[in-house]
A = this chain, B = another copy of it.
């Protein structure tokens, strides 16, 4: 077998043998700029292929037309780590025949490896492909950075189709993310998407005084607990709190002439900048939150493109297990420290599990940062609407009104005692939030299950129910 030429979408689908009832996969590195999924779905629909399971690393607002493919029978089931917009509303207000299965990035890596998910055909967007069929995401006009999720799809799917708008002739790619022997066909399209839309939604930081306070406290806690930061590792989220945590820690590193051992995760501009200042020894990038990361992938051996198994597969010796600190967000956190990173106060799916389950499980110290109230909504609740991350993996909560430490981590409470920072119980903070905004009315639900939340090992930890209209 040899890839002689790229094909158009229709010919590739026919040649690969895609049939009704099969499972297809897509990655979400292009985020809100992705054009590949809908281009492929349109041709699949035209070919009359039905009842597909759409197994994705994540789905975005840009994919709202999936609703039509559910309605017309092209798609019968969905696996994802999160949903947004119109599609999210469709799931909660109506639901598919089968509940949507929500998994973490590490959980997906494990499920693929253990064949809980059998992907018949993976469609993998690449910003460059050479004439051998080698692929990458970090070269070309639409470079989106790490091809992390795609790499693991290519290793596990029965058939692999690379979709690209950039075929490099007469040369081998200078950086290969997916080697040719994992690739069955190459599709050429005019455009895989718009990389300027990668940084939208949750990736656009919203600065506020309360976020500043939270970031300052978080950085102080990390610096105190770390002692020396030089042999320590860190994963941060993407929002304004994380940016400011990184800034405080950078200043400390410079002052002390220290260097973080590694930073892991989704990599935003501000992490890349800190790396380029020489304050981080190694970066492991499973997902670039900025196309700028493309400039360094494959060029600096201390900046390593990793797949989501390497990142977080719970059945392997993965990187999250080596994390000293992680800073994560939450939509809600409850009295048992359980986190909900998926469902809003009014019971809409607005988030994703992402790496939350994996990072909090692997990291030695997991810090949740959140304002005590968002708008008129309290973040601390008696019981989360859905458990996405179990409370036993959450160690510290930092809010603008004070911090709390999970009672199972007495070691942390002791270590923090010398800081000039009062430690509350989570119950104290819950009461404080209640005083401020009261308890919102609980949304009314039916007993129809529209979503299933798995933990990273594949057990069901919670359900999502259809909303009562």
A interface residues (Cβ-Cβ under 8 A, vs B): 1-3, 132-133, 155, 170-172, 174-176, 179-184, 231, 261-262, 281-282, 298, 301-302, 304, 306, 309-310, 313-319, 321-322
Contact = CB atoms under 8 A, between A and B. Distances in A.
A246 to B, nearest CB: 20
Given A317-B133, A319-B132, A179 B310 contact: yes
A243 B317 CA distance: 43
Chain multiplicity (copies): 2
A298 to B, nearest CB: 7
Contacts of A318: 1, 180-181
Contacts of A304: 172, 176
23 contacts: A1-B314, A1-B317, A1-B321, A2-B321, A132-B322, A133-B317, A155-B155, A171-B282, A172-B302, A172-B304, A174-B301, A175-B301, A179-B306, A180-B310, A180-B316, A180-B317, A180-B318, A180-B319, A181-B316, A181-B317, A181-B319, A182-B316, A184-B317
Contacts of A262: 172
Given A170-B231, A181-B319, 16 more contacts: A1-B317, A2-B322, A3-B317, A132-B317, A132-B322, A133-B317, A171-B282, A172-B281, A172-B282, A172-B304, A174-B301, A174-B302, A179-B306, A180-B316, A180-B318, A298-B301
A279 to B, nearest CB: 16
Contacts of A317: 1-3, 132-133, 180-181, 183-184
A181 B2 contact: no
A12 to B, nearest CB: 14
Kindly name the residue among A298, A304, A317 whose own CB sees the greatest number of chain B CB atoms within 10 A.
A317
A82 B218 CA distance: 60
A281 to B, nearest CB: 7
Contacts of A315: 1
A158 to B, nearest CB: 11
